[in-house]
Amino acid sequence: MLRTSAPFLPLLLALAACSADAPPPAAAPTAPRAAARTAAAAVPPAAQVTIGGEDAAETVARWQPPAVQIADDAVAAARRKAAQAFEQDRLYADEEAAIPIWLALLQRDGKDRQALAGLKQARLRLLEEAGALLSRPLKQREALAQASDMALVLLAIAPEDARVRQLQSRVEIAQRVIAYNRAGEDDLRAGRVGEDGDGAIPNFREALRLNPDDVRARQGLAAAESALIGRAETAARAGDFATAGTWLAEAAKVRDSSITIADAFERVERIRADTLTRLRDEGLRDLTTPQGLKPAREKLEDALRIALPGDPVVAQLRERIELVTHYGSFRPRQVFSDALRDGGRGPQMIVVPHGGFQMGAGDNERGATDAEKPSHYVRFERGFAMSITEVTVADFRRYVLASNARPRATRRGHSIVYDERSGNFVRHSGVDWRSDYNGAPAIANSPVMHVSVRDAENYATWLSEQTGRSYRLPSEAEFEYVVRAGSSGRYPWGDAGTPPAGAGNFTGAEDVSPTGRRWYNAFVGYGDGWWGPAPVGSFEANAWGVHDVAGNLSEWVADCWHASYRRAPADGAAWFNPGCRQRVIRGGNWANAPDQTRAAWRQSQDSDTTSARIGFRLVRGI
Other CB atoms within 10 A of residue 137 CB = 9
Q: What is the pLDDT of residue 170?
A: 83
Q: What is the pLDDT of residue 61?
A: 66
Average pLDDT of span 138-147: 78
Q: Which residue has the higher pLDDT, 54 or 577?
A: 577
Instruction: With residue 323 as reference, give the H or E element that holds it.
Output: helix 312-325
CATH number of this structure's domain 349-620: 3.90.1580.10
Do residues 94 and 5 make contact, with C-beta atoms less than 8 angstroms apart?
A: no
What percent of the chain clears pLDDT 90, i.e. is strictly above it?
67
Q: Is the pLDDT of residue 201 over 50?
A: yes
User: Which residue type, as a one-letter code, is found at position 488?
Assistant: S
Range from 176-185, 394-403, 505-514 carrying the lowest mean pLDDT: 176-185
Q: Which part of the chain is CATH 3.90.1580.10? A: 349-620
The CA radius of gyration of the chain, in Å to the nearest whole number, is 39
Range from 89-98, 185-194, 286-295, 411-420 carrying the lowest mean pLDDT: 286-295
Identify the CA nearest to 538 among candidates 508, 505, 514.
505
Do residues 463 and 618 make contact, with C-beta atoms less than 8 angstroms apart?
A: yes
Q: pLDDT tens for residues 173-182? A: 888 888 999 9
Q: Which long-range contacts (CB under 8 A, 24 or more apart) does 399-404 make?
A: 399/458, 399/459, 399/462, 399/463, 400/433, 402/342, 402/462, 402/466, 403/458, 403/462
Range from 46-60, 320-334, 349-363 carrying the lowest mean pLDDT: 46-60
- Give whole-number Cα distances, 67 to 75, 272, 402, 407, in Å: 15, 74, 82, 76
Q: What is the pLDDT of residue 323?
A: 66
Q: Is the pLDDT of residue 15 over 70?
A: no
Helices 312-325 and 293-306 sit at what angle, rounded to 10 degrees? Answer: 150
Q: Is the pLDDT of residue 51 over 50?
A: no
Q: pLDDT tens for residues 467-494? A: 999 999 999 999 999 999 999 999 999 9
pLDDT band at residue 60, thresholds of 50, 70 and 90?
low
Q: pLDDT tens for residues 272-308? A: 999 999 999 999 999 888 788 899 999 999 999 999 8
User: Which residue type, as a one-letter code, is found at position 226?
Assistant: S
Q: Which residue has the higher pLDDT, 381 or 87?
A: 87
Other CB atoms within 10 A of residue 291 CB = 7
Task: Report how far residue 179's alpha carbon sits from residue 351's, in angstroms, rounded to the nearest whole number.
Answer: 68
Global confidence as pTM: 0.52
Chain-centre distance of CA 86, in angstroms? Answer: 56
Q: Is the pLDDT of residue 164 over 80?
A: yes
Identify the CA nearest to 490 among candidates 572, 588, 612.
588
Q: pLDDT tens for residues 539-595? A: 999 999 999 999 999 999 999 999 999 999 999 999 999 889 999 999 999 999 999
Identify the CA nearest to 586 among candidates 575, 574, 600, 572.
600
pLDDT band at residue 49, thresholds of 50, 70 and 90?
very low
User: Which residue type, as a one-letter code, is found at position 178?
Assistant: I
Average pLDDT of span 26-35: 32
Do residues 321 and 297 make contact, with C-beta atoms less than 8 angstroms apart?
A: yes
Identify the CA nearest to 618 among candidates 485, 506, 461, 483.
461
Residues forming a β-bridge with 357 = 378
Q: What is the pLDDT of residue 149?
A: 86
Average pLDDT, the chain: 87
Q: Is 198 helix (H, G, I), strand (E, B) or coil?
A: coil
Task: Report how far residue 90's alpha carbon sits from residue 425's, in angstroms, rounded to the nearest whole number.
Answer: 76
pLDDT band at residue 48, thresholds of 50, 70 and 90?
very low
Do residues 439 and 417 make contact, with C-beta atoms less than 8 angstroms apart?
A: yes
**529 conformational bin, left if phi > 0, alpha if psi -120 to 50, beta if neither:** left
What is the DSSP code string of 137-166?
Answer: SSSHHHHHHHHHHHHHHHHHH-TT-HHHHH
Alpha-helical regions (H) of 238-292: 241-252, 258-287
Burial bucket for residue 289 (CB in 10 Å: 0-12, 13-18, 19+): exposed
Alpha-helical regions (H) of 111-257: 113-134, 140-157, 162-189, 200-210, 215-237, 241-252
pLDDT band at residue 341, thresholds of 50, 70 and 90?
very high
Task: Report how far residue 559's alpha carbon sits from residue 473's, in angstroms, rounded to the nearest whole number.
Answer: 9
Range from 32-36, 123-127, 154-158, 393-397 carrying the lowest mean pLDDT: 32-36
Q: What is the pLDDT of residue 53?
A: 40
Q: What is the pLDDT of residue 13?
A: 37
Q: Is the pLDDT of residue 39 over 70?
A: no
